[in-house]
Structure 1
Amino acid sequence: MQNLLLIGTLAALAANLPFLSEKIFWVRQPQDEQKAFAWRLLEMAVGFVLVGLVARLVEGQQAIVHTQNWQFYAVVLALFVVLAWPGFVWRYFWRRPGL
């Protein structure tokens, strides 16, 4: 149960991190003042893959890793996008322009 909470928390954090900073991967400032939405999508994709790898490692420590079909990954990706909703709303709907 603790591992499920850990993976869920890690997924929620990874889904929202791209919307919390104007730096690319929290390291490099983009050439223009604002980070493009494509960079945020790339950061979300990298976060999705990293969380998936951590989840697979945790599952491998506890039991045999089950093979998954494309339907599993489609549903998990949709859940990851839903987890990103608070960060998206904060970045594009609540913040004033120029902040």
Structure 2
Amino acid sequence: MNIDFYAYLVLGLALVLANLPFVNQRLLLVFPLKDGLKPLWIRMAELLLFFFIAGAISLGIEASLGQIYPQSWQFYVVGLSLFLVFAFPGFVIRYMLLKRG
């Protein structure tokens, strides 16, 4: 497999992980909540956790392909910004398009 495949794999993984907090009502995709609805702060905490999970998987893929290139803080800020942009469709569907009954 070539490097392009892994680049698209990482981007697709980030897109899926960024939207997971908004498409379900379970804590960390597993644990049901008592009242059934997740508050926004839990969704944001999950989003941050999934950002670190996506980064760890990306780092593992980079290590399997060769040497890990050291990054500065700007790289991680841009990565977090891209992750938040990827989360926008899930946020819009959850908070702007769904009608509450």
Match of 2:59 among 56, 60, 67: 56
Moved over 3 A (4+): none
Give RMSD over aligned pairs.
0.9
Q: 1:42-80, CA deviations, whole angstroms, 9 ceiling, x for partnerless residues? A: 111111111101111111111210111111100000000
TM-score under structure 1 length normalisation: 0.94
Aligned match of 2:9: 6
TM-score under structure 2 length normalisation: 0.92
Q: 1:7-49, CA deviations, whole angstroms, 9 ceiling, x for partnerless residues? A: 0000000000000001111212222231011110111111111
Aligned match of 2:77: 74
Unaligned runs of 5+ in 2: none
Q: State the distance in 2 between where 1:42 and 1:19 align.
A: 12
- Give aligned pairs, total: 98
Match of 1:36 among 30, 36, 39: 39
SS class of match (1:24) = coil
Unaligned runs of 5+ in 1: none
Aligned match of 2:30: 27
Match of 2:50 among 35, 47, 54: 47
Q: State the distance in 1 between where 2:14 and 2:7 align.
A: 10
Aligned match of 2:19: 16
